[in-house]
């Protein structure tokens, strides 16, 4: 996540990762749609900048979904535990 430290051009990024220019560009497009980076043009260059705030907030949001699934799995554990108390169902 080099783009969090400042703007980077797509071609420089492509050189620093074992990826083709097209692959990096595709990756950047995905991140851009998710609001995790912003892109602007400077002449023939495309500059990418990471969006720290969005990245943090997405992680925070994912944490809340984690809590939701954890409580669902706790309930599943209770259902399965009830049965093993009643006798081995295997």
Partner 1 sequence: MTVTSIRKDPAALSMTITTEFDSPIGRVWQLWENPRQLERWWGPPTYPATVVDHDLTPGGKVSYFMTGPDGGQSRGYWRVLAVDAPYRLDFENGFADDDGSPNPNMPVMVIQVVLTDRPDGGTRMAIETTFPSPDAMTQILSMGIEEGMTLAVSQIDGIL
Using CB under 8 A as the binding rule, whether residue 38 contacts partner 1 is answered as: no
Contact flag: residue 12 with partner 1 (CB under 8 A): no
| Coil/strand/helix, residue 48 | strand
Question: Does position 89 bind partner 1 by CB under 8 A?
Answer: yes
**Applying CB under 8 A, which of residues 6, 41, 75, 87 lies at the interface with partner 1?**
75
What residues line the site for partner 1 (CB under 8 A)? 30-31, 33-36, 54-55, 57-59, 61-77, 79-80, 83-84, 89-90
């Amino acid at each position: 996540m080099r783009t969090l430290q400042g703007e980077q051009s797509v071609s420089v990024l492509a050189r620093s990762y074992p990826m083709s220019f097209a692959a990096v560009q595709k990756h950047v497009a995905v991140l851009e749609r998710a609001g995790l980076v912003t892109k602007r043009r400077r002449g023939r260059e495309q500059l990418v900048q990471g969006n720290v705030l969005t990245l943090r907030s997405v992680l925070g949001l994912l944490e809340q979904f984690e809590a939701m699934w954890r409580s669902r799995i706790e309930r599943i554990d209770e259902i399965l535990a009830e049965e093993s108390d009643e006798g081995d169902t295997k």
